[in-house]
Structure 1
Amino acid sequence: MNRQTLPVKHLAIMIGDMKNRVKVQIEGSKVFTATIKLTVSDMNYGNHLGNDRVLALAQEARLQWLSSIDASELNCKGASLIMSDAMVEYKSEGFRQDTVEINVFLDNTHHYGFDLFYEMSINDKLMAKVKSGLLFFDYETRKVASEPDQWKQYYAQLV
């Protein structure tokens, strides 16, 4: 049964469910902008950007930002990073050859990590908003680590 043939009572249920959708509120200080061109491997069966690829775009933007501050996911100013959570709010489609501008924002820093927010646009049209929670991690002990001193110094320069 498609949406055009649904009885009114089913439409009311669908509309009611819309209020429970994820809303990503972009917060923090803008720390980086990445520009990424979509390729055929980013497309799904509907011939538009696959939903899973949005997190991959966020990761690429994160890697570019980390590289710009002489860091990586395995050594972010003295500790590795792992993702603790993620949220994606889809706003519009992306297609092969589109150029996505991704603004990266840093916020909610704490003793064990921080949040990154990603605002993704194509030709100034919002495509997606993403939030990822990152924790400092020690792969030798396999445990969450405290924020390293080098990270504290980097963050102090931002505020």
Structure 2
Amino acid sequence: MPRKTIDLPDHFLFETHYDVLYTDVNAANHLGADRLLSIAMEAQLRFIRQLGHGQAIAFEDAGLIMAHAETAYLAEADYGDRLRVELGAREVEEKSFQFVYRISKDDSSVEVARVATTLLFFDYPSRRVVPVPEDFRARVTGTAEEPPWRG
């Protein structure tokens, strides 16, 4: 079976750091692959807060829901390692988009993992998927007049 790779976006919109916790470590004494999605979701929430929204559920008059996720574990990380999590957007369509995350060791730049999530904007009261808001589209595609964010 050929190995699938997660392609990185042309540029990253946001960067934050994450310290590997004891609860992130598995029986083999390194970062568990099952924790990668949680680390990515933490970075996503930090990015959304940088955009001025207090919580993901009240974002742009709709919530974000995840339709698909992929992870690629590339190198081990250990308890206490400081990770740099970079977030970028790609494939911004009418009703969906992807966030792509590159997770690296902060001290050596060794790439630990890549994560890709396909997200939809969802109107909870009407229980339906809604189009990607134009303001959000402009901000993540680089057509808005604002610099990249750091968290």
Q: TM-score range by the shorter chain?
A: 0.7 to 0.9
Aligned residues: 141
1:115 equivalent in alignment to 2:93: no
Residues 52-88 of structure 1 show CA distances to partners (whole Å, capped at 9, x for unaligned) of 1000000001111111111232122232100111111
Q: Is the 8 A contact 2:92 2:137 kept in 1?
A: no
Of 73, 78, 85, the residue aligned with 1:102 is: 85
Q: Is the 8 A contact 2:61 2:123 kept in 1?
A: no
Aligned to 1:14: none
Compared with structure 1, are the counterparts of its residues 153 and 130 closer, same or farther at alpha carbon in structure 2 (3 Å cutoff)? closer
**Distance in 2 of aligned mates of 1:146 and 1:110:** 9
Q: Which has the higher contact order (CA 8 A, sep 6+)?
A: 2
**Distance in 1 of aligned mates of 2:104 and 2:137:** 31
1:30 equivalent in alignment to 2:12: yes
**Distance in 2 of aligned mates of 1:26 and 1:54:** 16
Ranges in structure 1 where 5+ consecutive residues have no aligned partner: 1-16
Greater radius of gyration (CA): 1
1:46 equivalent in alignment to 2:33: no
Ranges in structure 2 where 5+ consecutive residues have no aligned partner: 147-151
The structural deviation recorded for 1:154 is 3.4
Residues 104-126 of structure 1 show CA distances to partners (whole Å, capped at 9, x for unaligned) of 11111122121111000012000
1:139 equivalent in alignment to 2:121: no
Report the AA paired with residue 141 of structure 1: S
1:82 equivalent in alignment to 2:65: yes
Q: Tell me, what secondary structure is at the counterpart of 2:38?
A: helix
C-alpha RMSD of matched pairs (Å):
1.7
Report the AA paired with residue 145 of structure 1: V
State TM-score, norm by structure 1: 0.81
Compared with structure 1, are the counterparts of its residues 158 and 137 closer, same or farther at alpha carbon in structure 2 (3 Å cutoff)? farther
**Distance in 2 of aligned mates of 1:152 and 1:47:** 40
